[in-house]
Amino acid sequence: MVQITFVEPAGAEVAVDATEGWSLMQAAVANGVDGIVAECGGSCVCATCHVYVDETRLAALPAPGEIELELLEEVKAERRPNSRLSCQITATPELAGLVVTIPPCQT
């Protein structure tokens, strides 16, 4: 289990034990975290699981793939340098304690 903290749009911090190998999106939706829509269920087509990753740990994450980068250009909320799609980030022990913030809107 990898502990990830999601900051919901309303400001609440929800710490979730994510199963290793799952995506952060899966961990968030399975635990009912608010603000992640994930319409496509993790197929990397809808850009509705956008999150801002703690900037100090951004470098620890594998770089986004081409499709993720294309979709990130189209997220509804402001795109920032630390914007990622949570369906494309796999929970690994290196990410323990990571804090991700969910933007105010996804659709």
Partner 1 sequence: MSDLTEADAHIVVVGAGQAGLQAAETLRAGGFEGRVTLVGSEPHAPYHRPPLSKGWLSEALDARQLAIRDVSALERKNIDLRVASHVAEIDANARAVRLQDDSRIAYSGLVLATGATPRMLGNAAPADGTICALRSREDASAIAKGLRNCLQARLPLVVIGGGFIGLEVAASARKLGADVVVLEAAPRLLQRALSRELSDWYARLHASHGVTLVLDARIDKVETSGSTAQVRLIDGRRWEAGLVLVGVGIIPNDELARRAGIACDNGIIVDACSRTSIAGIVAAGDCTVCRLPDGSMRRLESVQSAVEQGRAAAYTLLGMEKPFTGTPWFWSDQYDAKLQIAGLSRSADRSVARGDMAGKSFSIFHYAVDRLVAVDSINAARDHVIARQLIGVGVSPTIDQVSDISFDLGRLRPA
| Residues lying near partner 1 in the complex (CB under 8 A) | 19, 22, 26, 29-32, 34, 37, 39-47, 67, 70-71, 73-74
Smallest gap from Cβ 98 to partner 1, in A, equals 20
Smallest gap from Cβ 5 to partner 1, in A, equals 16
DSSP character string of the chain = -EEEEEE-TTS-EEEEEEPTTSBHHHHHHHTT-TT---TTSSSS-S--SEEEEPGGGGGGSPPP-HHHHHHHTT-SSPP-TTEEEGGG-B--GGGTTEEEE--S---
* Nearest residue (CB) to partner 1, 43 versus 55: 43
Task: Find out whether 7 and 35 touch, Cβ atoms under 8 Å.
Answer: no
* Nearest residue (CB) to partner 1, 17 versus 55: 17
* Nearest residue (CB) to partner 1, 34 versus 78: 34
Smallest gap from Cβ 67 to partner 1, in A, equals 5
Smallest gap from Cβ 92 to partner 1, in A, equals 16
